């Protein structure tokens, strides 16, 4: 090469950090990873730049979030909706610690995440080097697989090692091992130069990608090491089926097959069918119904009432827990229970009196408490002027009715259809919805692994992004209280150059954490102390916040306003503020 000539980007040999990062991402993509969420940072730049190159080649989708906590929950939402492992790239130091809330939620909810955390090499650890802490083991028992990877030095064997790492990361996150699906942690040390050279994305890799639904099974994936039998239940016991969070359709199918009452929490994905019992809290206290239960079959993770844990601690009750994967089993009373991978019921007649008693009583309660009155159409066309005037006044009064919590959850539920997605925050509103909304086959999500309020907006944005990819799904609605919205307010910051999902953030603003109204503390502590440290009201201008982050804004104070806001065409993200009385 003559003097003055320079190598093109394609001819440059990549730095060991870049070569290793590209090999690792290639291995992840080959095994089904389609999304990478990146938070910017220096030490992680090789991974971030490789992800950008892979996106440019069409091998994956890149999502950039400046806040690592938001990035973690956004990845969680992507993984929940896509049912694939999602990778998260962050730099060293506190960036890693900020992933911890999302990691814990993913651990307890069995959601596959792959954490790619950059770190200093061995020689810079333990000497107070900048942005350096003890990252190996930082997530303790919340991850399915963890490895501290030494800084690459350019050896040929490192490409093969990166591929093996990707294999383990995908297979363990997808469910290989006793704990079931969940997060894994690859702590990746990098030496300077932290990046350089051209990132090669094999054309064969891009050509081989498909848009098939579901997880691409990694080649080394093994069945879970936990053996749990299947069981066939007889019909000789008065049985109820409980569907907790993420129970799935198997709960409704068993209730239907057995002819048993179905208690399905609103985020169970089983809240539908003719056996559904909405008013279960009250009926569990009825001696002729709840008092006569002999057997309970539990799916998913019940979290929304005190009545279900109380039921499962009764003496003499036959309890079957359906848990095909996962190390922990829901057993609040630590009683002897039967844990199985699946359950079915013997052929035979249905005890219609048992089922009918529950369903009839639940419907009677719903009808007695309903505030929806069918319009008197005859009065609307009456020849009597007074009757027509009374009809008009009644209809006007109905649409001008102030919104309360029940009306809010019912309106959101009514506006949401199977092609939509509904995300419920960990606030008073999800319990209100669980108590009153009827059956509908709607995809509902809530972060109920630890039931924290953090990351709800980020999670919903991830769900919306994944569900609307390729023009699919409808609107994602997020129903939260004001504190839940404010806790994750930074997630309203939209990423430049990325698609903007159709999302409605519906904020029930009752001036603080009124969920504490239902706890014992409300009657035992000083009112001003409760207000100061529990309710924590914040006088926030949500309209100004929405404007500042580039969201549309609507205030819905009446039933008519709310119905119009929820059904309006949604081209991008909208914040709907609904003032509620404390």
Residues of the chain with CATH 3.40.50.970: 16-211, 401-579
Residue 388's pLDDT is what? 60
User: What are the pLDDT tens digits along the chain (582 aa)?
Assistant: 444 444 444 556 799 999 999 999 999 999 999 999 999 999 999 999 999 999 999 999 999 999 999 999 999 999 999 999 999 999 999 999 999 999 999 999 999 999 999 999 999 888 988 888 999 999 999 999 999 999 999 999 999 999 999 999 999 999 888 789 999 999 999 999 999 988 989 888 887 775 444 334 454 444 455 678 999 999 999 999 999 999 999 999 999 999 999 999 999 999 999 999 999 999 999 999 999 999 999 999 999 999 999 999 999 999 999 998 888 899 998 989 999 999 999 999 999 999 999 999 999 999 998 866 555 666 666 777 766 665 455 555 556 688 999 999 999 999 999 999 999 999 899 999 999 999 999 999 999 999 999 999 999 999 999 999 988 879 999 999 999 999 999 999 998 889 899 999 999 998 876 666 666 666 777 877 777 777 777 789 999 999 999 999 999 999 999 999 999 988 889 999 999 987
By DSSP bridging, strand 230-233 and strand 342-345 are parallel
Output the pTM of the full model: 0.90
Tokens of 429: 């509103």
Dihedral, 391, 397, 398, 399 alpha carbons, nearest 10: 110
Residue 214's pLDDT is what? 39
Give the CA distances from residue 261 to residues 240, 264, 461, in Å, rounded to whole numbers and listed in that order.
5, 10, 35
Is the domain defined by 230-368 classed in CATH 3.80.30.10? no
DSSP run (H or E) holding 435: helix 428-436
Separation of alpha carbons 150 and 17, rounded Å: 11
CA 122 to chain centre: 37
Is the domain defined by 16-211 classed in CATH 3.40.50.970? yes
DSSP run (H or E) holding 258: helix 249-258
∠ Cα 348 323 28 (to 5°):
130
Query: Burial, 568: exposed, middle or buried (Cβ in 10 Å; 0-12, 13-18, 19+)?
Result: middle
Tracing tokens 């692994």 back to the chain, one arrives at: 449
Residues of the chain with CATH 3.40.50.1220: 230-368
Residue 513's pLDDT is what? 63
Name the residue among 545, 538, 476 with its Cα closest to residue 511: 538
Contact 242, 270 (CB under 8 A): no
Residue 51's pLDDT is what? 97
Contact 181, 174 (CB under 8 A): yes
Q: What is the largest CA-CA distance in the chain?
A: 102
**CATH T-level assignment (fold) for domain 401-579:** Rossmann fold (3.40.50)
Name the residue among 297, 294, 283 with its Cα closest to residue 363: 283
Name the residue among 571, 572, 542, 536 with its Cα closest to residue 557: 542
Separation of alpha carbons 156 and 153, rounded Å: 9
Separation of alpha carbons 10 and 51, rounded Å: 17
């Amino acid at each position: 090469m003559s003097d003055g000539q320079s190598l093109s980007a394609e001819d440059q040999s990549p730095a060991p950090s870049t070569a290793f990062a590209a090999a690792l991402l290639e291995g992840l993509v080959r095994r089904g990873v389609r999304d990478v969420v990146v938070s910017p940072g220096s030490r992680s730049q090789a991974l971030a730049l490789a992800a950008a190159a892979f996106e440019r080649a069409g091998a994956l989708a890149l999502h950039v979030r400046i806040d690592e906590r938001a990035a973690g929950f956004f990845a969680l939402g992507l993984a929940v909706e896509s049912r694939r492992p999602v990778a998260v790239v962050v730099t060293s130091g506190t960036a890693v610690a900020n992933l911890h809330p999302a990691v814990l939620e993913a651990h307890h909810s069995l959601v596959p995440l792959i954490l790619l955390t950059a770190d200093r090499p061995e020689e810079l650890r333990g000497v107070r080097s900048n942005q350096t802490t003890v990252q190996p083991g930082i997530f303790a028992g919340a991850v399915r697989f963890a490895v501290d990877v030494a800084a690459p030095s350019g050896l040929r064997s490192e490409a093969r090692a990166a591929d093996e790492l990707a294999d383990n990361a995908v297979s363990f996150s997808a469910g290989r091992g006793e704990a079931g699906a969940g997060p894994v942690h690859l702590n990746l040390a990098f030496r300077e130069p932290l990046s350089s050279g051209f990132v090669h994305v094999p054309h064969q890799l891009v050509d081989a990608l498909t848009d098939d639904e579901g997880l691409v099974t990694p080649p080394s994936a093994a069945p879970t090491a936990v053996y749990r039998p299947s069981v066939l239940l007889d019909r000789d016991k008065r049985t109820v089926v409980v569907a907790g969070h993420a129970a799935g359709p198997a709960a409704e199918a068993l209730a239907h097959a057995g002819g048993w009452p179905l208690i399905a929490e609103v985020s169970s994905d089983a809240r539908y069918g003719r056996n559904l019992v909405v008013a279960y809290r009250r009926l569990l206290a009825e001696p002729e119904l709840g008092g006569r239960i002999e057997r309970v079959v539990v799916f998913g993770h019940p979290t929304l009432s005190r009545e279900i844990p109380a039921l499962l601690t009764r003496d003499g009750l036959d309890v079957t827990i359906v848990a095909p994967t996962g190390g922990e089993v829901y057993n609040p009373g630590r009683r002897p229970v039967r844990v199985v991978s699946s359950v079915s019921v013997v052929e035979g007649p249905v005890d219609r009196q048992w089922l009918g008693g529950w369903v009839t009583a639940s419907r009677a309660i719903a009808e007695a408490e309903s505030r929806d009155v069918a319009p008197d159409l005859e009065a609307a066309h009456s020849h009597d002027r007074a009757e027509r005037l009374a009809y008009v006044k009644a209809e006007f009064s109905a649409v001008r009715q102030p919104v309360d919590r029940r009306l809010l959850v019912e309106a959101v539920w009514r506006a949401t259809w199977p092609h939509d997605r509904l995300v419920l925050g960990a606030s008073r509103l999800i319990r209100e919805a669980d108590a009153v909304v009827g059956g509908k086959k709607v995809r509902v999500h809530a972060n109920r692994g630890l039931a924290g309020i953090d990351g709800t907006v980020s999670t919903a944005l991830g769900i919306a992004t994944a569900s609307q990819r390729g023009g699919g799904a409808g609107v994602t609605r997020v129903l939260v209280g004001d504190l839940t919205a404010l806790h994750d307010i930074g997630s309203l910051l939209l990423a430049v150059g990325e698609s903007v999902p159709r999302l409605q953030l519906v904020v029930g603003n009752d001036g603080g954490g009124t969920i504490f109204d239902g706890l014992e503390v409300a009657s035992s502590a000083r009112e001003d102390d409760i207000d100061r440290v529990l309710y924590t009201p914040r006088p926030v201008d949500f309209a100004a916040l929405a404007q500042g982050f580039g969201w549309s804004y609507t205030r819905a104070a009446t039933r008519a306003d709310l119905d119009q806001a929820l059904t309006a065409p949604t081209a991008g993200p909208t914040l709907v503020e609904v003032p509620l009385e404390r």
